[in-house]
Amino acid sequence: MKSTLSNSFIEDLAIVFNPNSINEDNDIFKFDMEGITISFYPSDNLADLPIGSTLLFDNYVNTSNILKFTRIKPSTVLGSIVETNPSAFTIWETFRNISSSILVKTIRNSNLEPQVLKWEKKSDEQIELSVIFPVYNVEKYLDQCLESVTAWDADYVEYIFVDDSSSDRSKDIISKWQKKDKRVKFLSKENGGCASARQYGLESARGSYIGFVDPDDFIEPTMFCELLKAALTGSYEISYCGYIEYYENTGEFREVREVKDNLGWVGVK
């Protein structure tokens, strides 16, 4: 591999490699760089690493070893992995608080096109996902709804509840949850209907991605995590999933796995 990088982009480069992939007859790394400090580190060696360097790795490296390199606080994370665990999303979650940019290519099985996670930090308290709830007289369902959505403990998500002039205890219930979870946000407005409540929430949302939940529903605790993972891993604009119908009168559930792609989003970035 031969690479030329401008020193205006990089100052220090930590290259993580699988020592078993190199032998005397295989000079796998050849670089032509000026003014750049290059450091080669076997993926199982964490000794004396430069802080703030760029972390570069390829799919020959055990991905779990990559996660150990948080100690060098890389400014940039670049690499490729095979479709396995830990995933590109796990790498992103691990480095997002300490790196300013992350780019991870996932080489997938079969004949599927690779996916590329491309992310840049915009602020230290960056919100990745805003979930908006239009609220109107749903006190009976709010606790179950809130319990299901807040079970995911990610700090990069916000839950925006927009009260559309409810006359029941909805506001009090949301305020109670606000005290327990700082991710819960509360807005109130004059009555204007569900669509206007969602729009009002959108105007305050800080997330790169937006989700909606009707507050008389509840979700699987991992739903938004899986949706965000799918969207980020391929830098897609949208992701979606099936759903489960719950019949309140009988307590029965019916899973609906297939959702018609009426918008034609399959394969669209």
Alpha carbon 249 to chain centroid, angstroms: 36
Q: For position 30, what pLDDT does the model report? A: 38
Q: Which of 80-94, 157-171, 178-192, 202-216 has the lowest mean pLDDT?
A: 80-94
Q: Are 117 and 235 in contact (CB under 8 A)?
A: yes
Higher pLDDT, 95 or 54: 95
* Residue 266 binned pLDDT confidence (cut-offs 50, 70, 90): low
pLDDT tier for residue 55 given thresholds of 50, 70 and 90 = confident
Cβ pair 209, 240 in contact under 8 A = no
Encoding tokens for residue 141?
A: 């369902």
Query: Model confidence over 203-213: pLDDT tens digits?
Result: 999 999 999 99
**Bridge pairing between strands 252-256 and 243-247:** antiparallel
pLDDT at 42 (0 to 100):
52
Considering the entire predicted model, what is its pTM? 0.81
Give the lowest-confidence range in 51-60, 93-102, 145-154, 211-220: 51-60
Per-residue pLDDT tens over the stretch 4-39: 333 333 344 455 544 444 444 444 343 433 444 445
Q: Domains of the chain, with CATH numbers?
A: 2-120 (no CATH), 129-256 (3.90.550.10)
119 touches 92 (CB < 8 A): yes
3-state secondary structure of 162: strand
220-233 residue pLDDT tens: 999 999 999 999 99
Cα(54)–Cα(76) distance, integer angstroms: 5
State residue 49's pLDDT score. 57
- Tokens representing 201 are 């929430």
Nearest to 17 by CA among 33, 35, 31: 31
Q: Residue 115 pLDDT more than 70? A: yes
241 neighbors 223 (Cβ within 8 angstroms): yes
Number of Cβ within 10 Å of residue 197's Cβ equals 25
Buried b (16+ CB within 10 A) or exposed e, 96-107: beebeebbbbbe
Instruction: Mean pLDDT check: name the lowest of 122-126, 129-133, 171-175.
Output: 122-126
- 46, 69 contact by CB (below 8 A): yes
